Amino acid sequence: ALNTSSDRQRAEIETVLRKKADVTAVNATLNQIRSQNDAVSADMATKADAQQVASELEQRALVSDVNAALQQMASKASVTSALRKKANRADVDKALADLASITDVNEALRGKADVDSLNAALELRPTQSDVSQYVEGRIAEVQRESVESIQSLVAVTDRLARDTVQRADFEGWAGDMTRSIREHADKTQTKLLARTSALETQVSSQTDRMDAVLSTHGEQVAQFIQASE
């Protein structure tokens, strides 16, 4: 149909030209033909667009479905209320500024006792039984040395007395010597007891100090492990 119309229009143009129509009439005819062609093209395009739009509308949700979905969403008032409850940027920055930095945490951790080192120290710590055995051994050693010293002194004194003293009152002199030796033995025993007491006090003090240090480190390790968890 379009080709037939074009042929007819072309024939009309030739007729007009043959009749020597003026240029204005020819231009008007050409413009009319262009307008008709544009109208036909626009009509065809409109029909194609209408079909496409109809197809798309069929695939879209109905207005009622959209309204139902919107009713299930949070309202503007509820969203605004929720946003007001959130912390603003300034509050967050202030809270972060009050927290310890990673550098501070690392420095604090460097100052704490190493867990492995502390466990090794705890394993090497002598028990109360070990300390008691050590003290008793030292006391027995000192007593043995003192007894041997006294016995040696008595033997030497007795030998000198028998070899050098030739007088009637040997027994009296021996008694005096015996008393002197006993006094010396008593003094030696007193010194021995004093040394033993001082040694026990020193060992006990060192043990208590070690227990206090290990207890402090143990508490620090426990706090560190609890904080890490």
pLDDT for 141: 78
CA atoms of 62 and 103, how far apart (whole Å): 60
Question: Would you state the pLDDT for residue 75?
Answer: 58
- Say if residues 33 and 9 touch (Cβ distance below 8 Å): yes
Long-range pairs for 2-5: beta carbons < 8 A, 24 or more residues apart: 2/40, 5/36
Residues 146, 188 contacting (CB under 8 angstroms): yes
Cα–Cα distance for residue pair 6/228, rounded to 1 Å? 91
Q: What is the structure's pLDDT at 202?
A: 76
Residue 212 has pLDDT above 70, yes or no: yes
C-beta of residue 109 within 8 angstroms of C-beta of residue 227: no
What SS3 class is residue 50?
Answer: helix
Percent of the chain with pLDDT over 70: 31
Residue of 111 and 176 predicted with greater confidence:
176
The pLDDT of residue 103:
61
- Report pLDDT for 16: 57
pLDDT in tens, 135-158: 777 777 777 777 777 777 777 667
Mean pLDDT confidence for 165-181: 66
pLDDT by residue (tens digit) across 40-54?
A: 666 666 665 656 655
Report DSSP letters for 98-141, one per residue.
HSPPHHHHHHHHHHSPPHHHHHHHHHHSPPHHHHHHHHHHHHHH
Position 74 pLDDT exceeds 70: no
What's the whole-model pTM score? 0.27
Q: Residue 95, class by beta-carbon neighbours within 10 Å (0-12 exposed, 13-18 middle, 19+ buried)?
A: exposed
How many angstroms separate the CA atoms of 71 and 75, rounded?
8
CA dihedral 173, 179, 180, 186 (to 10 degrees): 170
pLDDT at 109: 58
Read off the pLDDT band of 192 (50, 70, 90): confident
Among 21-30, 65-74, 150-159, 218-227, which range has the highest average pLDDT? Answer: 150-159
Q: Is 94 exposed, middle or buried (0-12, 13-18, 19+ CB in 10 A)?
A: exposed
User: At residue 70, does pLDDT exceed 60?
Assistant: no
Contact 127, 203 (CB under 8 A): no
Confidence of residue 174 (pLDDT cuts 50, 70, 90): low
Q: What is the pLDDT of residue 43?
A: 67
Residues 161-190 have a mean pLDDT of 69
